[in-house]
Structure 1
Amino acid sequence: MKMKMKTIALVPAVLAAAILLIAAPASAAPGNIGFGFNATDISGFPSGAARLTGGGAHNPGTGFVKSAGGFRCTSDVGQGPLAGCLAGEGVRWDTVELLASTTFKCTGAATEPLKTAITDANTIVLLADFYRAGDGNDESFTAQMIVSADDIAPDITGIQNVWIQGVGCASAIANFSGKATSQE
């Protein structure tokens, strides 16, 4: 009976040790990059502005991404993939896929040079679905977006580290696994 009691008492310790041994190699492998951000005034194209917040994790090496957040059009968007999003509309966004890179403009002006953003440890380029409240679980819009800890448009005054296709760029508070920026 005493031997059975000692065996039962050892089971939790053995299980805990096994978990630690299994977890150790996993933690040694390159991990996912966590990110979070808050952009309050994304604009620059002829009409429209939006607010965007959210976060998640991605891994540029494997293509893994899991991210989502909130969004709202703060003035009517008249062009691009979010055309028809009216001021006050918008609830949330979620990820369709991680993109390796994209080209973009913050203003859409013909004279603005085309820029490139590349997904890495400090920048994420996504194809995302955007939802209005009345559309339920059916996406209202699909557009590309960029979030970065760094300035993605050094040719434009100020720091621009968030972009929505067809809406524009903005300065945002953005954090990437320990690298933080705070621009407002």
Structure 2
Amino acid sequence: MSFVPMKSRSRDLHVWFRAHPDLFVAERSGRQLLFWSIVASAMVASALLVYLNPEETVELLGGRVRSGLAIAAVFALPPVIFVVSVVMILRRAQRWRIRGGDVLTNPLVVGIDKEFPVDTLVSAIRDGGEETIVSALTAAHRRPADDRIVTVFASAADRVLYIAVLRVDGEIVWIDEEPLRAGDRFVDLKKLDSAARLNARRV
């Protein structure tokens, strides 16, 4: 069966991951959840201290005349930051894990123009050695644009790369073809991309 193009507003593969629950599992970052929980708790404690002791708070800041903006911030910021923290805690899962495997990272995102030979770049990532990949990425970084985006999600533990080409159409991003899975092959694309960026700047 032919691949049906998928539409998204984000420049990643989340919409494709969601369409394959047999392969991928969405999850929240435990570290981010802990961080925002601590921030939310701190803001609740700060708000209680301020609202239960309004006169002492004003006096501590130097009075209404001398510290008008500071007082406004002390009374307004804790509830605002608390709401932001709750939103961050409740928002949809932001990362994906291979079912039965490790978390996927996104080591490569490169934008290119529509005339760039994208197949050459994809083939280099999928089959080439490190020098070939750096050479292809260097060529891509010398022609930066926003027509096509080559993005790769990877798992070192599972030795897998998922390579995709996204087509940007205004605010809409299209996945026109099934992302390629380079199984049993893993290269450190973050390191190679850094080398390619340095090469591109030398010319």
Q: Same fold (TM over 0.5)?
A: no
Q: Which one has a larger percent helix, Structure 1 or Structure 2?
A: 2
- TM-score of the two chains, using structure 2 as the length reference: 0.26
Instruction: Answer 1 or 2: which has greater strand percent.
Output: 1
Q: Which has the higher contact order (CA 8 A, sep 6+)?
A: 2
Larger radius of gyration: 2
